[in-house]
Structure 1
Amino acid sequence: MTYDATGRLLLTPVDREGPERASRLRDLGLGPTADPVFDLFADRLAELTCAPFAMVNFIDENRQFFAGLHTPDGRHRGGALGALAARSADGAADRYMARDHGYCPHVIARRKALVLEDVCDYPRFAGNPVVDEIGIRSYLGAPLLDDLTGLALGTVCVVDIAPRPWGRAGLATIKAAAAELMEVVRGRGSLWP
């Protein structure tokens, strides 16, 4: 575990690949722009899992960007994520979240799926700001792994405001979704062989 100078447990893992990932995302033309294809993908993922929120999330050195977003109101706007979504100058909700909020940075660091049926069962995850500020209680996410570079570019994930028994079926669904989305990304990548 990593601790800061005051001895507090750091909840977000250190990301040594952030600059390389950000460069690869630029090469592929991914983030920081909302994409209707990714929004539709998030909609379908939410429907498959019966989750109120679903995201296609790309992470650079400093923040997370929801290139695809499904929200309960169906507007694809980050404002539904509450106080954690950044606001643009005109007041419209952006799709950014700080890197230390949420669980996707953990998926990036682990390079494998993360299933949290009730985040409050895990001290490391229960203290995350999304628990108190948004009310997130359950998370299911898988990394988007770039075959060419080996980098985890981002995640696909679903969250709920109530504990959820995702089980093996949920794990299989989120892993399959990540693999399917990477096929879409491969089709876009000008640098992909």
Structure 2
Amino acid sequence: MSAPVPYTQYDPTGQMLVTPEDKDAPARVARLRELGVGNAPVPEFDEFARNLARTLSAPYAMVNFIDESRQFFAGLYTPADSQPGVELEPQQASTGRVMARDHGWCPHVVVRRKALVLEDVCDYPRFAGNPVVDEIGIRSYLGAPLIDWASGMALGTICVITPETRPWGRKGLEIIKDNAQAMVARLREMEGRAGI
């Protein structure tokens, strides 16, 4: 049996690759505190997520910041109230903005510091066993990191998810990367306004 990749841990069953080790998490938390994001919804980020969902024709979009144990969606867009929503974590159903760090694919994007395109998560054994596949019914993911201009580390992600497979293609990848750069520019602007 081959040794595991250094930044990755395996679950006890050996069936699924789980959340990668994130050595930048403490520094990221400190930087997010400096920027004043990552713990509360930001209406501007909700609007950003709404526009991202519309641009990519996806029912869900997020601006996601990740700490040592959880993900926080400071920007969130979900289907209209008349459609079924998503419960991201049972104990946080009232906000719908917190998800465990081992759910979803954003932690992989943050550690890799590269965009991730999963047209059908079930095509990738590494990602198919993620809890959001069975618990929420997600089949397709497209996300890109938010790279901090000051430290070079990934602060979080923007992403879209769908319950059906989706051929994002090169155009989708370009859109998510361009929008990640736009969100980073907004964060930098916010820092400038705050005089940090």
Q: Judge same fold: TM > 0.5, yes or no.
A: yes
| 1:164-175 superposed matches below 5 A | 164-175=166-177
| 1:1-193 superposed matches below 5 A | 1=5, 2-4=8-10, 6=12, 8=14, 9-73=16-80, 80-82=85-87, 84-88=88-92, 92-189=94-191
* Superposition deviation, residue 187 in structure 1: 0.7
Per-residue CA deviations over 1:90-136 (Å, capped at 9, x if unaligned) read: x6234100000000000001101000000000000000000000000
Deviates more, 1:2-11 or 1:12-21: 2-11
Partner amino acid, structure 1, of 2:80: D
Q: Is the 8 A contact 2:11 2:18 kept in 1?
A: no
TM-score (norm. length: structure 1)? 0.90
Question: Which whole-Å CA distance do the structure 2 matches of 1:60 and 1:14 have between them?
Answer: 12
Per-residue CA deviations over 1:142-193 (Å, capped at 9, x if unaligned) read: 0000010111000000000000000000000000000001110001115888
Partner SS state of residue 80, structure 1: coil
Question: Which whole-Å CA distance do the structure 2 matches of 1:99 and 1:192 have between them?
Answer: 31
Question: Which whole-Å CA distance do the structure 2 matches of 1:153 and 1:32 have between them?
Answer: 13
Identical pairs, percent: 56
Q: Is the 8 A contact 1:54 1:69 kept in 2?
A: yes
Question: Which whole-Å CA distance do the structure 2 matches of 1:35 and 1:110 have between them?
Answer: 26
Partner SS state of residue 81, structure 1: coil
Question: Which whole-Å CA distance do the structure 1 matches of 2:174 and 2:99 have between them?
Answer: 26
Question: In structure 2, do the counterparts of structure 1 residues 168 and 93 end up closer, same or farther at CA, with 3 Å as the change threshold?
Answer: same
Question: In structure 2, do the counterparts of structure 1 residues 6 and 101 end up closer, same or farther at CA, with 3 Å as the change threshold?
Answer: closer
How many equivalent residue pairs?
Answer: 187
Partner SS state of residue 40, structure 2: coil
Partner SS state of residue 48, structure 1: helix
Partner SS state of residue 76, structure 2: strand
Structure 1 residue ranges without an equivalent (≥5): none
* Superposition deviation, residue 85 in structure 1: 2.4
Per-residue CA deviations over 1:43-89 (Å, capped at 9, x if unaligned) read: 000000000000000001110000000001269xxx9322x32535x
Question: In structure 2, do the counterparts of structure 1 residues 161 and 26 end up closer, same or farther at CA, with 3 Å as the change threshold?
Answer: same
Question: In structure 2, do the counterparts of structure 1 residues 74 and 5 end up closer, same or farther at CA, with 3 Å as the change threshold?
Answer: closer
Root-mean-square deviation (CA, aligned residues, Å) is 2.1
